[in-house]
Structure 1
Amino acid sequence: MNEQWTIIGERINPGFKSTKALFETKDIAGIQALAVRQAEAGARYLNVNAGMAGEKDHGFARDMVKAIQEAVPVPLSFDSASPELQRIYLTTYDADKAGGAKPMINSIAETRLDMLDMLAIRPCKVIVMASERLEDGAGRRNVKAQDVIDVARRMVAHTDRLGVPHDDLVIDVSVSAMAADSEGLTRMALDAIRTIGSDPDLAGVHITGGISNIGQQLPAKTTQGADLKHKLECAFLTIATPLGFDTILGTPWKEYHLLPEDDFVMEVFRDFITRSGLDALRQVRKLYKA
């Protein structure tokens, strides 16, 4: 696994059908095996999202955290918008079993600043959602890079006041599906990464996004059988990494790498991010028809 990125293993999440089945049957041994596979593949954190299974059964959520920590020494990232469930996760977590490493809260946003109260339970690393903002008392989706940047700055100011070091902050700029990206959201994310990564007031923060989102709704391979989804993830990384993107929420056993500039997917991806509307979507079609 390339050491230039911190990999947060994404697979303990009901968004994956096989994992959802483990939750439905409360297959603790299966969840442990999934944790081990991710850790052995190079994950430096494991994201834990018990979904509705954890919401409905807090005992299951506790048992799952304990079981994962029995199986692997990797620190955990707790993914829930529920303060109650986050409290259960954080009070169950045993730092000694993770070599003293802090857990991670995934995530805190302007629309749920009460989640900052969780830091009173124990010191944590924090993923900050910069893809949405609070406006007129309601959450709004960001579609402009400047809005993402402004939210990142405001959220870091909040955590600065609480004494959270920048090295414990990970800003999630949100990565969108190319197949439906007629608004230039991929370009927005890259523009935001560029500014956040070079802002001296944000020096030391980390930048992330769920790069598996890029290939959603697209076939895994082109009509000629060539790899597509994973190549698109690598194309995004090729541009984003030099700008400051250093943390991947993804599948650890994928071979993440930078692409050469003459790679066909890389060339089309660079063209795609300069376009909007139907013009951009035509480039996506060009990829899987290649």
Structure 2
Amino acid sequence: MYAYNPERAGNRKPILNSISGARLEMFDLFARQPFMPILLVTEGLDDSGEMVMNKSAAQNHATALEMVQIARERMQGAPVSEMILDPGIAPIASDMNGDLRRLVEAMTLIHAEEELAGVNMSLGLSNFTQMLPSKKADGSPVKGPLESAFLTIAMPLGLNMVIGSVNRKYALLEEDHPAMQCVREALTLEGFDVIMRVMAYYS
């Protein structure tokens, strides 16, 4: 923040990544340099006051509401359009706990929430395809199409920013695209069946 030069950035506010309930002191930087915060919604306080990972979409939704309210108070009434929620994304290659389904459900709840109308959503898209091979046996890419399939599903739910790769050829896919079929089916499966479906996609 101390090195930020507004003129070189076209007088746009910097993005501060990332603030959670365990790091609220980061809001103190706002007094020196206004910013757009990325607010983590995947962790919250349990009944004992300990910071823990959320286990449901409803908990992520509740944390989103809480973090936006805190941000409003700490950022001098800044609008939600200057806030970015990070609903978290886990590798589909190891998704035995319904992480992808929980993410999509959380985004659906956030997108439908009137109090969060206009909020931005962002995530680290490359995390989605960690631990996967770069190519199928026929030489065609694995990661780019799967990431594009996720984008196709998530953008109508309010995802409007990603941390991605300039080397990826992202695109909105048709429903009959093999990567779309893989991700759609993974959302309906449980446990090891998700991993097997992903393996079937790239084998």
TM-score (norm 1): 0.67
User: Matched residue of 1:268: which SS?
Assistant: helix
Give 1:152's match in structure 2, choosing from 64, 80, 98: 64
Aligned to 1:284: 198
User: How many corresponding residue pairs?
Assistant: 200
Give the Å deviation of 1:252. 2.9
Aligned to 2:13: 102
Q: Aligned AA for 1:100? A: N
Aligned to 2:39: 128
Give the Å deviation of 1:263. 0.5
Q: Tell me which moved more, 233-242 or 187-196.
A: 187-196
* Structure 2 CA distance for aligned equivalents of residues 250 and 103 of structure 1: 18
* Structure 2 CA distance for aligned equivalents of residues 143 and 217 of structure 1: 23
Aligned to 2:73: 161
Give the Å deviation of 1:143. 2.8
Asked whether 1:138 is paired with 2:50, we answer: yes
Aligned to 1:233: 147
Q: Alpha-carbon deviations, 1:216-255, whole Å to 9, x = none?
A: 0010111222211111100100100011111111113422
* Structure 2 CA distance for aligned equivalents of residues 205 and 189 of structure 1: 16
* Structure 2 CA distance for aligned equivalents of residues 264 and 112 of structure 1: 41
* Structure 1 CA distance for aligned equivalents of residues 192 and 107 of structure 2: 25
Give the Å deviation of 1:138. 2.6
The alignment's C-alpha RMSD in Å is 1.2
Contact 1:129 / 1:171 at 8 angstroms: preserved in 2? yes
Correspondence list, 1:1-290, <5 A: 90-135=1-46, 136-162=48-74, 163-289=77-203
Q: Aligned AA for 1:236? A: F
* Structure 1 CA distance for aligned equivalents of residues 155 and 167 of structure 2: 19
* Structure 1 CA distance for aligned equivalents of residues 54 and 145 of structure 2: 26
Q: Aligned AA for 2:147? A: E
User: Matched residue of 2:22: which SS?
Assistant: helix
* Structure 1 CA distance for aligned equivalents of residues 70 and 133 of structure 2: 41
Contact 1:143 / 1:183 at 8 angstroms: preserved in 2? no
Q: Aligned AA for 1:112? A: R
Q: Alpha-carbon deviations, 1:91-125, whole Å to 9, x = none?
A: 11111111111111101001111111111111111
Which consecutive segments of 4 or more residues in structure 1 shift more than 6 A? Answer: none
Aligned to 1:37: none
Unaligned runs of 5+ in 1: 1-89
**Structure having the larger proportion of residues in helix:** 1
Percent identity, aligned pairs only, is 34
TM-score (norm 2): 0.94
* Structure 2 CA distance for aligned equivalents of residues 101 and 166 of structure 1: 16
* Structure 2 CA distance for aligned equivalents of residues 116 and 98 of structure 1: 21
Q: Tell me which moved more, 156-165 or 174-183.
A: 156-165
Q: Alpha-carbon deviations, 1:8-31, whole Å to 9, x = none?
A: xxxxxxxxxxxxxxxxxxxxxxxx
